[in-house]
Chain A
Amino acid sequence: MKIVAAVIFAGVLAGGPVFAQVPYDRIVKAESEPANWLTYAGSYKSQRYTQLDQINKQNVSQLKPAWVYQLRAGGVFETSPLVVDGVMYMTEPPSTVTALDVRTGRPLWTWTPKIPDDVIVIGSPPVNRGVAVLDNMVYAGSIAGHLAALDAKTGALRWDVTVDDNKLGYYLTLAPLAIDGKIIVGVSGAENGIRGFVDAYDAKTGKRLWRRHTIPAPGEPGNDTWGKDSWKTGGGSTWLTGSYDPDLKLLYWQTGNPGPDWNGDNRPGDNLYTCSVLALNPDDGTIKWHFQFTPHDTHDWDANETMILFDAPVAGRPRKLLAQANRNGFYYVLDRATGEFVAGKSFVKQTWADGLDAKGRAIAKPGLEPTREGMLVYPSIQGAANWHSPSYSPKTGLFYQTAVEMGTIFYKGEAVYNPLIGFTGGGGRTLNTDDSSSAIRAWEATTGSLKWEFKLLSAGRSSLLSTAGGLVFSGTEEGNFFALDAETGKPLWDTQLGGNIRGIPMSFAVDGKQYVAIAAGFALFVFGLP
């Protein structure tokens, strides 16, 4: 009898979740195993595209919920789950990590870090956008300013390090990026007068290997773009996951607004390297090149939006490119080997610049800085783009982006450094909801030339997933989850999930069936074909 029971148990195990190691090489080749979703945006290229095509234009209208996972507590739910060999790793607000059986949605383990009652989270809700996996560990940041490594099988804590002091406003909301033996993270906190940085940690031990400040210290190139001591509290946070090119051995990380946000009086100059992308050597964090999207920003136009890496011919020549739809209203294409500006175009109504010059620098109009009385500028304080994920389909060559059409009346206020209440120097009031809108737009990735748009009701936080099945999945502020035809933008399927959709869609397969996952309201929904 004992033998029979053991055999049966082994059989159950074989069909159940299998915990496999995820060596770096698997993440490099993530696109070759689309059943899994091994890193935040699907691959190091951050295209948020799946090769899976079982769900396609012909059958998407038949999608049905496979299972639903309810949060144990409320909160703003912005996770992008990972799936590894039958296990889903996702985060719950504010900083809990949970592993689920992908076949059933049943939890396998959950881990919640200690968050002090007086935790400082200024500039975003207390959210978490996902984890990284590497070898047999799961890595997650917390709003307490920590980075933790958990055992992938049980959730047991392997190590925990303080990235930086939350009492000074540092906190983490991003999914870490795992590369060869290293865990890369950035920080939030530019509304608190932090000095931003990108950190690399030894994946096995948690030892910090290097730190690259996004604001140069005196004596370093670029410090002269700040006034006096303003660099010390100059912001430049790094709050969203970067991208990586293992062939070029370049790590791309985006930076946020300078601080104080809306009062630039004490920080004359371009304020390098805020509102920029930095191309870093992953071995030591040295800067290989940089490109600044918004010099001397006073409208809170962080450049932290996801950067998509893709290869395409430009003027007949194959190029390795990096593209971003920036919060400032312009879409940029750069050569990712050199940082050279290739193309750029506004993708929303914007009133602050007369276009881009030959080097991609915005030709800013004078006199549009925030004032005490208020100054109306487009795009809004939340930006034309934000943390919500864009997508790129190598099949269509289109860049997909939720474009927010909104203006804000920007106010300048006093700027007094106090990390307890923030260091912002003003604020803004966005125009009425009926006077704003958003749309999912698809444009040629190499030029920014618009191909189609699908209008949404309100300015939402709609992340996008494109698929080899010819679909683009997204959700709305009003709770619609839907699929569009990736070539035309025509709606093919939609359903109502009953809570605003801040989640980031991804796709995986198990037992030969494709699924799509999305967080909405206080629950994670997984859809599949019947």
Chain B
Amino acid sequence: MQIKKRWFWAGAIAVAVGAVPARVGAQNNADVDGGRRLFQGMCAECHGAGGTGGDAPSLNRPRLNHAPDDKALARVIADGIPNTAMPRIRRFTESELNQLVAYVRSVGKMAQDRVPGDAKKGAAIYKNLACSSCHIVAGEGGTLGPDLTDIGTMRGAAYLREAVVDPGASLPKGTLSVLSRGYAEYLPVRIVTRQGREVRGIRVDEDAFTIQVRDAAGRSYSLRKSDIEVLEKQVGKSLMPSFASRVAAPELTDLVAYLVSLRGTEP
């Protein structure tokens, strides 16, 4: 095999060949158990243990937007979802695919944990904390941080809670088309040029010879690495401050409920 991608077997097959196996059939407990093991290995890192959501959407809901039926779900697994972080995974045999579909459906049938908290109150907290100075919801807000318009469909409650309390631990992945897939997005960098100028901001793009940065004031920088004395990539940090000390536990729950309620705008 000759190529590369984060999900290798996924990326390896550039030409869809047999496409998705046609029969996605009956499900039983053995399928569900087998599917659970496959899911824990290949899917849980993004979709969370038990499909409760994480970097990627939760799956413990009766209806999945991209997979209304089992055949569509098998296709999503095999083909991925274009322009999202969901890769195509072509390594599964037909029976493994069946197991995985059976498991994901079983998760969807479980009594869904209702997200606690009051989304309305959460909206007010969002406003009071001036989150919109850095984040867009439905076209309104600042641009330093990620657009949150449909964050509720993209991230689980646990992830969103962590993002408020410890933003550096949960930098976005797979939400931007620049940088290329797999890089930490909104990564804070500290740069000192050979002339002694210091630049702090987020990495917008980078290659072997240059780096592009945007600072908190929205100013853009284009720097050649040969002109840089120090290039510090602050992995695990975020320009967003932690709100742990500024939001009490009940308010945090409301805020998360509000974020979970953000499910995009109708076109």
Chain A residues in the interface with B (C-beta under 8 A): 76, 118-126, 143, 173, 188, 190-191, 239, 256-257, 261, 300, 302, 304, 372-374, 380-382, 386-387, 408-409, 411, 413-414, 416, 418, 420-422, 424, 426-430, 432-434, 455-459, 461, 476-480, 482, 491, 494, 496
Contacts and interface: CB of A to CB of B under 8 A. Distances in A.
B96 A414 contact: yes
Given A411-B41, A421-B21, A123 B1 contact: yes
Contacts of B90: 122, 421-422
A121 B17 contact: yes
Contact of A121 (B10, B14, B208): B14
A458 B208 CA distance: 8
Nearest to A431: B6
Given A123-B1, A422-B90, A427-B8, 4 more contacts: A124-B14, A418-B18, A426-B9, A491-B209
Given A413-B96, A421-B90, A480-B209, A386 B182 contact: no
Interface in B155-185: 173, 180-184
Contacts of A125: 2-3, 14-15
B92 interface: yes
Interface in B210-267: 210, 226, 233, 235
Nearest to A476: B208
Pick the 9 closest A-B CB pairs, nearest first: A433-B182, A427-B9, A427-B91, A478-B207, A125-B14, A420-B18, A124-B2, A421-B18, A121-B15
Contact of B15 (A126, A430, A482): A126
Given A373-B41, A494-B209, A430 B17 contact: no
Nearest to A75: B14
B109 interface: no
Contact of B17 (A411, A421, A456, A478): A421
Contacts of B89: 427
Contact of B207 (A119, A122, A480): A480
Specify which of B40, B89, B208 lies most central, judged by the most chain A CB atoms within 10 Å of its CB. Answer: B208
B209 A122 contact: no
B42 interface: yes
Contacts of A120: 15, 17-18
B136 interface: no
Contacts, number: 162
A430 B96 CA distance: 21
Given A121-B14, A408-B8, A434-B184, A491 B226 contact: yes
Give the interface SS of chain A, mostly helix, strand, loop or mixed.
Answer: loop
B12 interface: yes
A429 B14 contact: no
B27 interface: no
B5 to A, nearest CB: 8
A256 to B, nearest CB: 8
Nearest to A300: B1
A372 B208 contact: no
Contact of A411 (B42, B93, B207): B42
Contact of B8 (A239, A304, A428): A428
Contacts of B13: 121-123, 191, 422
A413 B9 CA distance: 12
Contacts of B21: 421
Interface in B27-54: 37-38, 40-42
A477 B12 CA distance: 16
Contacts of A300: 1
A374 B41 contact: yes
Interface string B186-197: 010000000000
A429 B8 contact: yes
A432 B40 contact: no
Contacts of B6: 429-430, 432-433
Given A124-B14, A191-B1, A434 B7 contact: no
A213 B235 CA distance: 50
Given A373-B40, A413-B91, A421-B93, A429 B7 contact: yes
A457 B180 CA distance: 12
Nearest to B6: A430
A411 B44 CA distance: 14
A191 B96 CA distance: 17
Given A382-B8, A434-B184, A414 B93 contact: yes
B158 to A, nearest CB: 20
Nearest to A373: B41
A456 B3 contact: no
A300 to B, nearest CB: 5
A386 B91 contact: no
Nearest to A409: B41
B76 to A, nearest CB: 16
B210 to A, nearest CB: 8
Contacts of A304: 2
A413 B4 CA distance: 20
A386 B4 CA distance: 10
A374 B76 CA distance: 22
Contacts of A257: 1
A371 to B, nearest CB: 9
A122 B12 contact: yes
A380 B8 CA distance: 9
A456 B208 contact: yes
Contacts of B209: 480, 482, 491, 494, 496
Contacts of A458: 180, 183
A219 to B, nearest CB: 30
Contact of A480 (B14, B42, B208): B208
B94 interface: yes
B132 interface: no
B208 A482 contact: yes
A430 B91 CA distance: 14
B206 interface: yes
B4 A382 contact: yes
Contact of B93 (A119, A188, A416): A416
A190 B12 CA distance: 12
B93 to A, nearest CB: 5
A120 B3 CA distance: 16
28 contacts: A121-B13, A122-B13, A123-B13, A124-B2, A188-B2, A190-B1, A191-B1, A191-B13, A239-B2, A304-B2, A372-B37, A373-B37, A408-B8, A413-B93, A416-B95, A422-B17, A422-B90, A424-B9, A427-B7, A428-B8, A433-B182, A434-B184, A457-B208, A458-B180, A476-B208, A478-B206, A491-B209, A494-B208
Nearest to B37: A372
Contacts of A408: 8
A302 B226 CA distance: 37
A382 B3 contact: yes
Contacts of B208: 455-457, 476, 478, 480, 482, 494
